[in-house]
Amino acid sequence: MPYDDKKCSSDIEGLRRQVQDLQALLARYENKDELPGYREVFERSADANLIIDGDTFVDCNEATVKMLRYATREELLQTHPSELSPEYQPDGRISFEKANDMMALAFARGSHRFEWNHQRADGEVFPVEVLLTSVPLAGRDVLHVAWREITERKHLEEELRHAQKMEAVGKLAGGIAHDFNNILVAILGYAELIKDSVADQPELLEDAREIVRAGEKAATLTAQLLAFSRKQDLKPEIVDLELVVGNLTGMIRRLISEDIEMVLETAGVPLPVKVDPGQLEQVILNIVSNARDAMPDGGILTIKTTRGIKSVTNGVDLPMGRYVSLKFTDTGSGMDSEVVARAFEPFFTTKERGRGTGLGLSSVYGIIKQSGGDVRIVSHEGHGTTLEILLPESAEPLSSAGSGEPEFRPGASGNERILVVEDDEAAGRLITKALEKEGYQVEVAHSGEEALALAEKHDWAFDMVLTDVIMPVMNGPELVARLRLEMPELNALFMSGYTDDVLERQGFAMEDVDLIRKPFSPGRLIGRVHTFLSRRNSKK
């Protein structure tokens, strides 16, 4: 290319003017008389502060250097602004094109605030809140840029969104569980009655048993929904986590395949926690089952218990305090970030159709949350998974074994008069049939008002009332209070498929009443009724 003296002179003059403008800009920010204290504020700000003229960095503070992890300020100032962003922004737009639009808005409005993904010198992408402010200089505008890193805020926002989503789904699950429980009372109850009536017909008996098995499976799913919604009926005790894990090792070894090695690393000291021991065992077995399924070709499952963990661990939502840790680590296929984010959602599963309900980890989440703990998952696709449970360490003494609920003894029936109050007609018919089969005299009502009318019609001559808790117009506790005005010694057994929080909002004092949970079998119902009436008779 031939040498063009005029063009070269023009380029040199242009560069000279740019240098002069930049020197003037720096002098302006250094001039304490013109902007008193500005330079000190610029330098000492915890936010990243930069000056951009066109597509050139003019200046930046030390916070910018640290935020972007450059070695020196000079090295950073030699980079092009476009080098500090990934190729694409979260909305899918090309960073370079979107940056030009953002700067245009700042020049048009005077300032513009927005969120942006930047990239550090080591390649890590991180979110910032950006404030661009147009500043006039020598007849043109430059940009003062402020970046505030919002990584922690984004984590908190994501945790809040996740908590809100889980809470909303939990409320839905609790409502569904109630409706299922009412339906299951009739399904399981009538199936049990059919079994008794076809005991001498093997084919029909097996059909009835299949109905019972299907109903019990549905009841298990309902219980898992209640576990996820954190509204199930837990019976917490002070147990030694170390002992619970130790007692389950035999079952765990049978649950996992022979090509999976189990490594047990225990704390070697008692780890007292307040949980429902039966539910804790279910939690452990659910997690082990998932780990087994993630290692179809074998691997290693490590179960580790630790004491004295504090709630400063990332990814958990717990107050400060002492916690014990139960950690499961497998060498399986692992999960990507999207699957990890949805792992605790009910009905979400990556397993083949028919191999999982998607309620295993959701029930783990609900049980541990309801017990005052938290669960976190760390997983990378192809590199295994670690699931950690944190539970508050208890200072109370370990519980002794409870007595449990009395079992029904065949033939333990009577002829007492029972008032049944159930607004679900199918459930009411089943309960009536089961009680009458045992010899009890039953009157059934479908509302509180109807129950009062029946009681008055029969001269208030009932030995017991069996009533649903939540009903239209008059609920169960209100009805019992009205009945006891005429029958002060009346025994009252409540029944409900609603969760504890719903019952308590209705003024139902859980600690002061006797309650049988739906769904229940006819045998369990009869056993409870017999216990009530036996207790009444023993006081006479």
Residue 238, C-beta contacts closer than 8 angstroms, at least 6 positions apart: 272, 273, 274, 394, 396, 397, 398, 399
Least confident of 47-56, 256-265, 501-510: 501-510
Q: At what angle do helices 522-538 and 425-437 cross, to 10 degrees?
A: 60
For 266-280, what is the mean pLDDT?
Answer: 87
Q: Tell me the residue type at 418.
A: I
Q: Measure Cα distances from 379 to 23, 276, 286, 388, 464 in Å.
A: 52, 28, 17, 11, 56
Give percent above pLDDT 90 in the chain: 32
Over the stretch 149-208, which tens digit does the pLDDT of each residue have? 998 888 888 777 777 776 676 667 666 776 778 788 888 888 888 888 888 888 888 988
Mean pLDDT for the stretch of residues 282-305: 90
Q: What percentage of the chain reaches a pLDDT higher than 70?
A: 78
pLDDT at 403: 40
Which CATH superfamily groups domain 237-392? Histidine kinase-like ATPase, C-terminal domain (3.30.565.10)
Mean pLDDT of 413-432: 86
In this predicted model, which residue has the larger pLDDT, 320 or 476?
Answer: 476
Residue 303: name the closest of 325, 283, 328 by CA. 328
Whole-model pTM: value is 0.48
More confident residue, 342 or 389: 389
The pairing of beta strand 374-379 with beta strand 385-392: antiparallel
Say yes or no to pLDDT of 348 above 60.
yes
CA proximity to 377, closest of 365, 363, 395: 365
CATH superfamily of this structure's domain 417-538: Response regulator (3.40.50.2300)
Per-residue pLDDT, averaged over 423-445, amounts to: 90
- Which pLDDT value is given to residue 64? 94
Sheet strand arrangement including 299-310: 260-265, 299-310, 322-330, 385-392, 374-379
**What is the reported pLDDT for 173?**
67
Query: What's the pLDDT score for residue 413?
Result: 54
Taking the domains of the chain in order of start, what are their residue ranges?
28-149, 157-228, 237-392, 417-538
Cα–Cα distance for residue pair 113/119, rounded to 1 Å:
19
Cβ atoms within 10 Å, residue 461? 11
Q: What amino acid is encoded at 447 in this protein?
A: S
d(CA 367, CA 499): 14
Residue positions counted in the chain:
540
Q: Is the pLDDT of residue 9 over 80?
A: no
Strand order from edge to edge, sheet including 140-149: 56-60, 48-53, 140-149, 125-137, 111-119
Q: How confident is the model at residue 218 (pLDDT cuts 50, 70, 90)?
A: confident
pLDDT of residue 409: 43
Residue 208 to residue 37: CA distance in whole angstroms:
87
CA angle 258, 213, 198 (to 5 degrees): 135
- Peptide bond just before 519 cis, omega within 30 deg: yes
Tokens of 327: 């950690």
Helices (H), 441-495: 448-457, 476-486
pLDDT (mean) for 372-400: 88
CA pair distance 134, 110, nearest whole angstrom: 5
pLDDT given at position 34: 47
pLDDT: is 348 or 284 the higher one?
284
For residue 302, pLDDT over 60 is answered with yes
3-state secondary structure of 426: helix
263 Cβ contact partners less than 8 Å away, ≥ 6 residues apart: 300, 301, 302, 303
pLDDT 10s digits, 440-471: 999 999 999 999 999 999 999 999 999 998 88
Strands (E), 359-426: 374-379, 385-392, 417-421
Q: What is the pLDDT of residue 24?
A: 58
Q: Mean per-residue pLDDT for 398-416?
A: 54
Structure-token pair, residue 330 = 């497998």
Find the mean pLDDT for residues 401-427. 67
Q: Quick one: pLDDT at residue 366?
A: 82
Residues 6+ apart with CB under 8 A from 216: 188
Both structure tokens of 171: 């409320």
Where is pLDDT greater, at 311 or 56? 56
283 or 504, higher pLDDT: 283
Residue 357: its pLDDT value, please? 56
Q: Are strands 417-421 and 441-445 parallel, antiparallel or unpaired?
A: parallel
Q: Which of 302, 286, 301 is nearest to 364 (CA)?
A: 286
Minimum mean pLDDT range among 323-327, 445-449, 494-498: 494-498
Q: What is the mean pLDDT of residues 394-423?
A: 67
Look at residue 426 in the predicted model and tell me its pLDDT: 85
Task: Please check whether residue 402 is in contact with residue 277, taking contact to mean a CB–CB distance below 8 angstroms.
Answer: no
Task: Work out the end-to-end distance of the chain between its first and last CA atoms, rounded to an integer number of angstroms.
Answer: 120
pLDDT for 202: 87
Q: Which of 424, 486, 412, 498 is nearest to 452 (CA)?
A: 486
Between 523 and 449, where is the model more confident? 449
Element (H, E) at 22: helix 5-30
- The CA distance from 502 to 518, in Å, is 14
Can you tell me the distance from the alpha carbon of 383 to that of 213, in angstroms, rounded to the nearest whole number?
38
Residues 237-265 have a mean pLDDT of 88
Q: What is the pLDDT of residue 459?
A: 92
- For position 35, what pLDDT does the model report? 46
Contact by Cβ (8 Å): 219, 184: yes
DSSP 121: T
Q: What is the pLDDT of residue 56?
A: 84
- The whole-number average pLDDT for the span 479-506 is 84
For residue 95, the surrounding DSSP H or E stretch is: helix 95-109
| Residue 64 and residue 75 in contact, taking contact as beta carbons nearer than 8 Å | no
The predicted pLDDT at position 36 comes to: 47
Rounded Cα distance, 473 and 470, in Å: 9
CATH class label, 28-149: alpha beta
Q: What is the pLDDT of residues 56-96, one digit of tens each?
A: 888 899 999 999 999 999 999 888 888 899 999 989 899 99
Average pLDDT over residues 331-345: 86
How many whole angstroms separate alpha carbon 519 and alpha carbon 215?
Answer: 10
Confidence bin at 212 (pLDDT 50/70/90): confident
- What is the pLDDT of the chain when averaged over all its residues? 81
Residue pair 427/519 in contact by the 8 Å Cβ criterion? no
Residue 518: is its pLDDT beyond 60?
yes
Q: How far is CA 55 from CA 67, 77, 89, 322, in A?
A: 20, 11, 19, 53
Mean pLDDT for the stretch of residues 287-311: 86
| pLDDT tier, 527 (very low <50, low <70, confident <90, very high otherwise) | confident
Report how far residue 272's alpha carbon sits from residue 416's, in angstroms, rounded to the nearest whole number.
46
